[in-house]
Structure 1
Amino acid sequence: MTASTLEDKAVTGRRVEYRVHRSVNDDRADVYVPGIVTKTQTAANGTLLAWVRLDGGRSSLALPADYDGLRYLDQIVNVPELPMGRFEPGSQHPGFDYAYDGVLVVEFEEGDLAAVTADRSKAEAVVATYLREVHGIDDESDISEQLGDLIEGWKVFEWEPEDAECAWLMNPASEGDDHAVHVYYLPV
């Protein structure tokens, strides 16, 4: 593509598809993930960069506008603003990919767990199941001991800005606070 064609294609709001490579040992075809150009920028070396946020993501990738794994689509729309502030967690949010009997569980980088429920027996069931299925713990006395360490409390989940170290934080709250949810927390 020529520079003028790139400048016409790489515009804020342009819908794109980004190629995600499979591993070398995977004979399936690469896949394309939809996204949007959030901004463009000329790098110090004169290269036109397209900042691309993949759908469902919270940070943008800085890609050379002529990157061969980037398909420009015809549609140009307003760039959706990232949600900020408090939210009630659901399985559509990053990190909340485990649920048992309708109760979400999130594991933090340090290994702490939180079960989002006001029902202690459901929290114990989901945490025990999580420890068995995800961590492979089969010693029931070890699981029972860990369940005894569950701490009941109110928390709020709050989005972090784009490119923050993590997408959201869980912070202390009180019953009745805006978007506060009841959790059972298992510290490491």
Structure 2
Amino acid sequence: MTTPALPAEAVIGRRIAFSYRDDLRHIPRDQVGTITAIADDQPRCLRIRLDGARSGIYVRPDYENLRYLDEIITVPVLPMGRFTPTGAEAGFDHAFDGVSVVEFEEGDMAALTPDRAKAEAAIATYLREVHGMEDESEIRDQVAELRLRNVVFEWQPEDADVDWHVRFDAEGFDGAVQIHYLPAV
């Protein structure tokens, strides 16, 4: 494994423009970001964080779709700890009537509202539009299982597998929010 030589421009804090060839990650081409770390023991030694993203990606310093920009900044610190989601965070890809819905890897879901009627409407719409459910009695049976839960959302470090984690054992925690939770069947 040979590590490519680092050009003089490859410094922490350097602003960059980056483009994916196949655009599989749904990030617009020529996205800008910042070099956040350099690991000189591997070929993909530049960790870059694209603007608006929480996690970094590793690229080779000579990658053809990487362009070094003139500006050098202080690397922005990522927020850590508990937060109240707005629905704009990664993972919240559906909203109905102002209520964000998230589906976890295991298939369980949550509507970010303490209002049961709004949670039912949001989850029902999600089941119709995302899961393609057409049987209204099946949808009613599903939303009947919604449970009000107190949870906290916590940011994870930059190199974590996920941007945030939710703790369901949050009764009485500072920053706890109420959601309606639908366990996977």
Q: TM-score, normalised by structure 2?
A: 0.88
For 1:9-158, what aligned pairs fall within 5 Å after superposition? 9-22=9-22, 31-43=29-41, 49-158=45-154
Q: Is the 8 A contact 2:32 2:50 kept in 1?
A: yes
Residues 142, 39 of structure 1: alpha-carbon distance in 2 compared, 3 angstrom cutoff: same
Q: Is the 8 A contact 2:44 2:58 kept in 1?
A: no
Q: Distance in 2 between matches of 1:165 and 1:88?
A: 20
**Cα distance per residue 1:140-160 (max 9 Å; x no partner):** 110111111111111111011
Q: Distance in 2 between matches of 1:35 and 1:129?
A: 35
Higher radius of gyration, 1 or 2: 1
Q: Is the 8 A contact 1:35 1:53 kept in 2?
A: yes
Q: Distance in 2 between matches of 1:3 and 1:21?
A: 23
Residue 48 (structure 1) shift: 7.9
Q: Is the 8 A contact 2:150 2:176 kept in 1?
A: yes
SS in structure 1 of the partner of residue 39 of structure 2: strand
Give the RMSD, CA atoms, in angstroms: 1.9
Q: Distance in 1 between matches of 2:56 and 2:144?
A: 42
SS in structure 1 of the partner of residue 19 of structure 2: strand
Q: Distance in 1 between matches of 2:66 and 2:50?
A: 11
Residue 93 (structure 1) shift: 0.7
SS in structure 2 of the partner of residue 31 of structure 1: coil
Residue 57 (structure 1) shift: 2.2
Deviates further, 65-74 or 165-174: 165-174
Count of residues in correspondence between the two structures:
176
SS in structure 1 of the partner of residue 67 of structure 2: strand
Q: Distance in 2 between matches of 1:119 and 1:60?
A: 36
Q: Distance in 2 between matches of 1:178 and 1:48?
A: 40
Q: Is the 8 A contact 1:12 1:40 kept in 2?
A: yes
Consecutive unaligned residues of structure 1, counting only runs of 5 or more, are 24-29
Q: TM-score, normalised by structure 1?
A: 0.86
Q: Distance in 2 between matches of 1:3 and 1:111?
A: 45
**Cα distance per residue 1:57-101 (max 9 Å; x no partner):** 232222221111101111100001111101111132111121111
Q: Distance in 1 between matches of 2:17 and 2:60?
A: 14
Consecutive unaligned residues of structure 2, counting only runs of 5 or more, are none
Residue 42 (structure 1) shift: 2.1
